[in-house]
Amino acid sequence: MANVSCQSFGKTKEGQEVDLWTLCAGDYSIQVLTYGGILRSFCVPAAEGSRDIVLGCETLGEYEAQDRYFGALIGRVANRIGGACFDLNGKHYPLAANNGPNCLHGGLRGFDRAVWEAREEDGSLVLTLHSPDGEEGFPGTLEVQVTYSLTEDGTLTLDYQARSDQDTLCNLTNHSYFNLLGHAHGSLGDQKIQILADAITEMDENSTPTGTILPVEGTPFDLREPVEIGKGLAMDHIQLKMGNGYDHNFVLHHQPKGPMKLAARATGGGLCLECWTTQPGIQFYTANFLEGDAGKGGACYGFRSAYCLETQIWPDAIHHSNFPSVVLRGGENYHHTTTYRVTAL
Ligand code: BGC
């Protein structure tokens, strides 16, 4: 069980108090902000002692000013909703177009910008959020609970639950940027990635899924065996050009929920990071829009200097009947679990 403590992290520009929670378990520790439920640090034992492997900002003001989603919890709907609108039960719901023609990561003020309630429960950190009916254009009042747990064997678990009083859409994830060489390393070096998926969802020039499920065989997306990320990025493929790098949903299951499954394994710097999930997809995103962003402790986060492993229901699922459903029925429970386990290689 982790040792849990809490300190103040200042106030948002609107005057809301924000706390920084710390969970320590053996040689591992994490810090989580009540602002955006952000995973601010993930310190793991490494050759030099302790290494922080997730990117983040130094101050609350910097978190508020950026739009990279560093470490944040994402909702109500992770990734893109094409055309920034959807129909549900015969009603049309317009949303904010905050990413070209799409609605990205929940809209203008997604869960990544909310101040969550937090409490300790049995050595875990429980974050809760009340999202009112109509927030960011989505129907139904949604009660959300995300629990962060950390164990001495280096397993960080995120358990996501939600319930709405009306039919709505729900697809929650975490947007941590990892670099196993250390958050401030500045490049991916020779880190490798393995993603246990036979297909990706093809996307168009707006990063919206076309509906086609593209087998990875013979493409840079064939990561079923470990591949050096830099070598994969250097390959020639129209989907990589469109994404400005890897920024794709890999298909893990065809159902909205599956058994816990190893989705991805990354290695580098003497460490191994495994991502397990019950979600049907994982967005592998190689930080293609970072451009020397200011980070923690004076770090500078350059182009493709980290990667995100965002477990999710497939992007734009509401517009594709062949995708797992993203509809959460009123009164039903939304629940999924993702773990990130870091061990020595
Ligand atoms: C998306 C990227 C986007 C990024 C924002 C990712 O989940 O797939 O296209 O730029 O989030 O940081």
pLDDT value for 117: 98
CB 310 less than 6 A from any atom of ligand 1: yes
The dihedrals phi and psi of 64, each to the nearest 5 degrees, come to -65, -30
pLDDT value for 277: 98
pLDDT value for 21: 98
Residue 339, Cβ density class (10 Å: 0-12 exposed, 13-18 middle, ≥19 buried): buried
The structure tokens 């990667």 sit at 307
CA distance 36 to 118: 11
CB 112 less than 6 A from any atom of ligand 1: no
CB 69 less than 6 A from any atom of ligand 1: yes
Cα–Cα distances in Å, from 12 out to 17, 74, 110, 113, 293? 7, 19, 15, 10, 20
Hey, whose CA ends up nearest to atom 10 of ligand 1? 289
pLDDT value for 289: 96
Helix (H) / strand (E) element for 150: namely strand 142-150
Residue 262: alpha-carbon gap to chain centroid: 16
CA of 192 to the centre of ligand 1 (A): 20
Nearest alpha carbon to residue 249 among 189, 306, 202, 293: 202
Contact partners, residue 258, CB within 8 Å, separation at least 6: 252, 278, 279, 280
Give me the percent of the chain exceeding a pLDDT of 70: 100
Task: Identify the three-state secondary structure at position 32.
Answer: strand
pLDDT value for 286: 98
Q: Which residues of the chain have pLDDT under 70?
A: none
pLDDT value for 255: 83
Q: In the numeric block, which tokens belong to residue 216? A: 């990875």
Domain that holds residue 16: 3-344
310 is catalytic: yes
Ligand 1 atom, smallest distance to 74 CA: 7
CA of 332 to the centre of ligand 1 (A): 29
CA of 285 to the centre of ligand 1 (A): 7
CB 102 less than 6 A from any atom of ligand 1: no
Count of domains observed in the chain = 1
The structure tokens 């679990």 sit at 337
Contact partners, residue 118, CB within 8 Å, separation at least 6: 6, 19, 21, 32, 34, 125, 126, 127, 128
CATH number at residue 22: 2.70.98.10
pLDDT value for 1: 83
Cα–Cα distances in Å, from 143 out to 19, 111, 168? 21, 12, 12
Catalytic residue among 105, 135, 136, 175: 175
